[in-house]
Structure 1
């Protein structure tokens, strides 16, 4: 009795492998934040149909990585633009075109005058200067708040301010609170460019 060709058997194994680890491939391509956990569920429970479906649904959820430069660019900034010399797509902050090598001026995003801020309470003097330097080192915009407090922002959305607060908490270990900084109440100093 013929058991079939070795090529067909190999092809069957490859297709089976791809189908079995489809949730892992989906999570990896979407840069899912829980990619390792999805892989483990897929590896150990994927043989049960329910485990495989759970891993696939989890991999398809919206818990993916955010672009790292979204806070540093500021709200309303375009991530890319056309080079004025060769019309190829380049980053907005680029000062040299990677395609034609021309020197160009970076486009700065307009600074918001009000919005959500991750406000860090601090004392005037050295502590305030250290806080300002820590915020700048993370590539976040610095804004004066009430008294000696300084903040990272302002941002268009509360989620952006929460991301800035998480960065401040992780790197320089600064506690901050999220608040809306308006430009009409008169309790905040004006933002100077």
Structure 2
């Protein structure tokens, strides 16, 4: 019984150790390799692990567009350069701020 608890606790610690690396990979972080290196090398210290976790969550995802399929038609949505709202890439002015794209 005690050995099972220790094994389960060790597995939970092992998985939680790599949370910053997984977050950076899922978010496609610009500095994913550096976050992973920090996590592996200094993650054993609580401060190193927290810094890696915070860094993995910082910064915008560089992907500023998405595609919506509507009745078989693909509509590319991009972020407005001025207000940040999502607008159809085919329009010349943003629906929200009325500025040219």
Query: What's the TM-score, normalizing by structure 2?
Result: 0.65
Partner SS state of residue 91, structure 1 = strand
Q: Quickly say closer, same or farther: Cα 1:43–1:82, change in 2 above 3 A.
A: same
Q: Mark the runs of 5 or more structure 1 residues left unpaired by the alignment.
A: 71-77, 85-89, 94-106, 114-154, 157-193
Q: Quickly say closer, same or farther: Cα 1:65–1:13, change in 2 above 3 A.
A: farther
Instruction: Show structure 1 runs of 4+ deviating over 2 A.
Output: 7-10, 90-93
Structure with greater helix share of residues:
2
Q: Which deviations, in whole Å up to 9, do the C-alpha atoms of 1:81-114 show, x marking residues without a partner?
A: 4216xxxxx6327xxxxxxxxxxxxx9813x38x
Which residues in structure 2 correspond to 1:41-52 (within 5 Å)? 41-52=38-49
| Aligned-residue CA RMSD (Å) | 2.9
Q: Residue in 1 aligned with 2:22?
A: 25
Q: Quickly say closer, same or farther: Cα 1:64–1:108, change in 2 above 3 A.
A: closer
Deviation at 1:65, TM superposition (A): 3.3
- Which is higher, the Rg of structure 1 or of structure 2? 1
Q: Which deviations, in whole Å up to 9, do the C-alpha atoms of 1:122-150 show, x marking residues without a partner?
A: xxxxxxxxxxxxxxxxxxxxxxxxxxxxx
Deviation at 1:34, TM superposition (A): 0.8
Aligned residues: 84
Query: What's the TM-score, normalizing by structure 1?
Result: 0.37
